[in-house]
Amino acid sequence: MNIIEKILANHSQQKTVKPEEIIDVVIDTRAARDFGGANVVNNLIDNGFSVHDASKTIFTFDCNPGGSDQKYAANQHYCRQYARENDITVFDVDAGVGTHIAIDKGMVWPGSTFVSTDSHANIMGALGSFGQGMGDQDIAAAWAKGSVWFKVPESVKIILKGKRPEKVSAKDIALNLLGIFGANKLLGCSVEIYGEDVDHFTLDERITISSMGTEMGAIIILFSPSAEIMQFCEEKTGRKLDPIMADADALYKETHEIDFTTFVPMVAMPGHPHDDTSVVKVKGTKIDSGFIGSCTNGRIADLRVAASILKGKKVAPGVVLKIVPSTDAIWNQALDEGLIKIFKDAGALVSNAGCAGCAAGQVGQNGPEEVTISTGNRNFSGKQGKGLVYLASPAIVAASAIAGSITTPDDLPDHPALFEKKGILKPLASSAKQHSEEKKTVVEGRVWIIKQDDIDTDMIFHNRYLTITDIKEMGQYTFDNLKGYQDFAKKALPNDIVITSKNFGAGSSRQQAVDCFISLGISCILAESYGAIYERNAINAALPILTYTPEVLDEIGLESGDTIRVNFLTGEFTNLKNNKTASIHKFYDAQYQIYKNGGLLG
């Protein structure tokens, strides 16, 4: 078996597992964050469930440290009350990013399992541990039962051949891989990375690369733990551990050998983490702000790199640089090493530990038309604010903040780029539906064909609405961040059907991106493929989702506005305008059982 198969077998009381098998997986550590936590608690209370094992259960308040938004504050307080009643540990607003806390406090280790309402829980692959981001129903089930159902993924092996080029950071490695594989070529797969230089990657570097597996559509990016990683984990857990390694004859869906020597420093262009280019091609692009932090680049090694570039220099006039360590322990370490003073002397804003701009709940957001260069893992439209976000390494962000424009540390100008006056600024641009759900296996409805790949959860249900917990309020915000479909919620009718392309629901683990369709009464969604977390969330919420191959639309002459009939159990797909019929993939058994049950928690 390969690494993921060994971990899942060890946690499912089975000697072996194979791709596509549906198994129950015991979860070693079960976490919920501040925005997802309130919904997890609601699910537990509404269904009369208790917590299976409080010693393995935690809250992490990392999205909005300080509760600066009233709804966040209410959700955090609600979770604290539940934690007190049930002896659950809370890593509160002073602690930092939950996944990093779990790593640094020994709550994960090679071969362990971890779930959270954080779509970057797969960061645990850095240790050779299985981490998975899940929606609030999944997490509620894990808290109540101690295990969750899971479909064993196929695995892909990537071999980085040759030596890492000088000045290529872990973030550059992740962006180079995104440039090769895009957002969906590794969709739903577990990825293992090997290579002569890979064995020497530090924990912080592995965290950076694993954390961006979500942006590649992968379930997880796994590394075999090195001796250094094993020693770290044994110190944190206080016990002797066995490494987790793939067997020599392990099977993989694909093996890719990549010439590591061709990798170069990269940036991701605004809008998509996989729209990558060499930093050389965008040098000189004027920036308004920079951000160093997030679960991808908030480790002490990242801060040291930034400090080495910022020391004795100043952030360019008018440019705002925000720096957020990933945990409070790292913040204090940076203080002890004198890094915080370097940052402050350079003119940067240093905030308390947390997710910062990625969660749109702390520092790091930008305004309309603002150009930001960020070490975050996502730059979807609207994700870190209303402006344009480039993704890059801490070294490039620090150098760009000094230069006032995108550059590299070895090409700092004698004088920073200044802002030009552009004249008078333009002013800023300034009924939920709920329908009873019937468990039909055949539905008819008007079609919306949205032929677009990689529609992410920020396009479906933007993160500014994440504090909404009442499903009746969610429908009105559906697709309001998807260009061309901002008025979808006003025009949608009960029983309408959405047909889209590849990797629908990429990105966040937010349940609202599923529940908003239920709120509107959408009868089903058809896509060529789904983001791995989104697929689970939809199935668990009993929202009918099916997959199809592109040619079937042509076979039945389907156009937007036509009415179709879909049979979930047979896969029969009929255009009622001309009575032409084709076949799509039907429900699989586990999906049908959950649907018939009214959802995972029904």
Q: From start to end of 324-385, where are the E strands?
A: 349-350, 371-374
Contact 418, 317 (CB under 8 A): yes
Q: What is the pLDDT of residues 183-239, one digit of tens each?
A: 999 999 999 999 999 999 999 999 999 999 999 999 999 999 999 999 999 999 999
Name the residue among 280, 255, 279, 257 with its Cα closest to residue 268. Answer: 279
Helix (H) / strand (E) element for 203: namely helix 203-211
| Residue for token pair 């129903």 | 137
433 pLDDT higher than 60: no
**Cβ atoms of residues 375 and 250 within 8 Å:** no
The predicted-structure confidence for 390-423, as pLDDT tens digits, reads as follows: 999 999 999 999 999 999 999 999 999 999 888 7
Q: Are 394 and 299 in contact (CB under 8 A)?
A: no
Q: Cα(119)–Cα(114) distance, rounded to whole angstroms? A: 12
- Stronger pLDDT, 206 or 377, i.e. the higher one: 206
Angle at 397 between CA 392 and CA 402, to 5 degrees: 155
427 pLDDT tier (thresholds 50, 70, 90): low
- pLDDT at position 429 is 33
How many other CB atoms are found less than 10 A from the CB of residue 504? 30
Q: What is the pTM of this model?
A: 0.84
Indicate the range of 257-266, 438-447, 536-545 predicted with least confidence: 438-447
Contact 550, 528 (CB under 8 A): yes
Q: How confident is the model at residue 430 (pLDDT cuts 50, 70, 90)?
A: very low
The backbone region for 579, taken as left when phi is positive above 0, alpha when psi lies in -120 to 50, beta otherwise, is: left
Question: Could you tell me the sign of the dihedral formed by the alpha carbons of 279, 282, 286, 290, in that order?
Answer: negative
pLDDT at 276: 87
Place of tokens 């030009």: 420
Would the pLDDT of 38 be above 50? yes
The pLDDT, as a whole number, for residue 428 is 40
HSE-up of 427 (CA within 13 Å, CB side)? 2
* Residue tagged 């697929």 (tokens): 535
**How confident is the model over 510-514, as a mean pLDDT?**
95
Find the largest Cα–Cα distance for the chain. Answer: 73
Please name each of the domains of the chain with its CATH number: 3-262 (3.30.499.10), 266-411 (3.30.499.10), 442-596 (3.20.19.10)
Nearest alpha carbon to residue 193 among 184, 183, 180? 180
- Note the pLDDT of residue 466: 85
Mean pLDDT, rounded, for 254-277: 93
Bigger pLDDT: 360 or 76? Answer: 76
Q: Give 10's contacts (C-beta < 8 A, 6+ positions apart).
A: 111
